Amino acid sequence: MRDVNEIIIHCSATREGQNIDAEIIDRWHKDRGWKGIGYHYVVLLDGIIEYGRAVKEIGAHCQGHNSNSIGVCYIGGVEQDGITPKDTRTCEQKEALILLIRVLKLLHPDAIIYGHRDFSNKACPSFDATKEYEGIGSKENL
């Protein structure tokens, strides 16, 4: 198993309510010349969690942090104009993200949760994931 010490949260930068999945993101990433989807998990609008790249493989989601991290992407992240960042997470996505992060923290207890924006000049994931998820994984929050 890889040494994982970061869980990095992303958004797909798609319009609020636009229904896409890991297969579509995989196609987009292949069109960029990548091996395939760069995220390890994708959280759909209805809260279903899909697998992306195998966790045992290094991701392609955050330059300089791929070898030691797991990438989690929720669908959405921008307003209907397709440009303006917005926290578009549905209630189901919020619940699924917390569940997924709790499981990942059990498997990788030393991992710190970040938003992609903590490492890049981007709005992604369109909310402060570092602050919102900072207590997940502590004994009182499992």
Q: Which residues are part of the catalytic machinery? A: 10, 39, 116, 122, 124
Nearest to 71 by CA among 43, 99, 95, 92: 43
CA distances from 52 to 42, 47, 71, 133, 139 (A): 7, 15, 9, 22, 28
CA-only gyration radius of the chain, Å: 14
CA angle 76, 81, 82 (to 5 degrees): 45
CB atoms within 10 A of CB 61: 24
Rounded to an integer, what distance in angstroms lies between the CA atom of residue 90 and that of residue 107?
Answer: 26
